[in-house]
Structure 1
Amino acid sequence: MSGSNTPVLCIGSVLWDVIGRSASHMRQGSDVPGRITRLPGGVAMNIAMTLARFGLTPMLLTAIGRDAEGDELVAACTELGMVTEHIYRSEDLPTDRYMAVEGANGLIAAIADAHSLEAAGDKILRPLTNASLGSEAIPYRGHVALDGNLTQSLLEKIAQSPAFAAADLRVAPASPGKAERLLPFLNHRRATLYLNLEEASLLCQTEFNTSREAAIGLMSRGALKVLVTDGGNPATEADADDLICQTPPEVLVTRVTGAGDTFMAAHIAAEATGTDRQTALTRALHAAATYVSGETPL
Structure 2
Amino acid sequence: MTNAPDILCIGSVLWDVIGRSPSQMRVGSDVPGRITRVPGGVALNIAMTLVRFGLRPALLSAVGRDAEGAELVESVSRMGIDCALLYRSEDLPTDVYMAIEGAGGLVAAIADAHSLEAAGKRILSPLLDGPLGSPDAPYAGRIALDGNLTEALLSDIAASPAFARADLRIAPASPGKAERLAPFLRARRGTLYVNLEEAGYLCQAQFDDAESAAQALLKRGAARALVTHGGAPCCDATQDGTLSHQPPEVLVRRITGAGDTFMAAHIAAEAGGAERGAALERALQAAAAYVSGEIV
- Please indicate the TM-score interval, normalised by the length of the shorter structure: over 0.9
Whether 2:159 is the aligned partner of 1:151: answer no
AA in 2 matched with 1:100: A
Cα distance between partner residues in 2 of 1:62 and 1:150 = 9
User: What secondary structure does 2:187 align onto?
Assistant: coil
The answer for the alignment partner of 1:220 in structure 2 is: 219
The answer for the alignment partner of 2:167 in structure 1 is: 168
Deviation sequence 1:192-248 (CA, Å, 0-9, x none): 000000000000001111001101111111211000000000000000001001110
TM-score of the superposition, structure 1-length normalised?
Answer: 0.97
- TM superposition shift of 1:136: 1.0
- TM superposition shift of 1:6: 6.4
User: What secondary structure does 1:186 align onto?
Assistant: helix
- TM superposition shift of 1:190: 3.4
User: What secondary structure does 2:108 align onto?
Assistant: strand
8 Å CA contact 1:118–1:149 kept in 2: the answer is yes
Whether 2:82 is the aligned partner of 1:83: answer yes
Structure 2 counterparts to residues 43-54 of structure 1, below 5 A:
43-54=42-53
The answer for the alignment partner of 1:209 in structure 2 is: 208
AA in 2 matched with 1:247: Q
- TM superposition shift of 1:55: 0.3
User: What secondary structure does 2:251 align onto?
Assistant: coil
The answer for the alignment partner of 2:277 in structure 1 is: 278
The answer for the alignment partner of 2:28 in structure 1 is: 29
AA in 1 matched with 2:177: K
Cα distance between partner residues in 1 of 2:167 and 2:183 = 15
AA in 2 matched with 1:155: L
**CA 1:134–1:190 in structure 2 vs 1: closer, same or farther (change >3 Å)?**
same
The answer for the alignment partner of 1:269 in structure 2 is: 268
8 Å CA contact 2:159–2:187 kept in 1: the answer is no
Whether 2:102 is the aligned partner of 1:96: answer no
The answer for the alignment partner of 2:116 in structure 1 is: 117
Cα distance between partner residues in 1 of 2:148 and 2:5 = 25
AA in 2 matched with 1:252: L
AA in 1 matched with 2:198: E
User: What secondary structure does 1:280 align onto?
Assistant: helix
The answer for the alignment partner of 1:128 in structure 2 is: 127
The answer for the alignment partner of 1:10 in structure 2 is: 9
**CA 1:237–1:174 in structure 2 vs 1: closer, same or farther (change >3 Å)?**
same
Q: State the 4+ residue runs in structure 1 displaced beyond 6 angstroms.
A: none
Q: What is the identity percentage for the equivalent residue pairs of Structure 1 and Structure 2?
A: 67
Cα distance between partner residues in 2 of 1:98 and 1:84 = 20
AA in 2 matched with 1:29: G
Gaps of 5+ in 2: none
The answer for the alignment partner of 2:176 in structure 1 is: 177
- TM superposition shift of 1:189: 3.8
AA in 2 matched with 1:157: D
TM-score of the superposition, structure 2-length normalised?
Answer: 0.98
Cα distance between partner residues in 2 of 1:272 and 1:84 = 21
AA in 2 matched with 1:296: I
Gaps of 5+ in 1: none
User: What secondary structure does 2:205 align onto?
Assistant: coil
The answer for the alignment partner of 2:193 in structure 1 is: 194
AA in 2 matched with 1:165: A
The answer for the alignment partner of 1:71 in structure 2 is: 70
Deviation sequence 1:263-297 (CA, Å, 0-9, x none): 00000001111100000000000000000000112
8 Å CA contact 2:56–2:81 kept in 1: the answer is yes
Q: Which piece of structure 1 moves more, 146-155 or 129-138?
A: 129-138
AA in 2 matched with 1:116: S
Deviation sequence 1:126-155 (CA, Å, 0-9, x none): 000223111111111111000000000000
Cα distance between partner residues in 2 of 1:29 and 1:80 = 38
Cα distance between partner residues in 2 of 1:41 and 1:6 = 20
The answer for the alignment partner of 1:256 in structure 2 is: 255
Cα distance between partner residues in 2 of 1:249 and 1:94 = 40
8 Å CA contact 1:187–1:224 kept in 2: the answer is no
8 Å CA contact 1:46–1:262 kept in 2: the answer is yes
AA in 1 matched with 2:89: S
User: What secondary structure does 2:244 align onto?
Assistant: strand
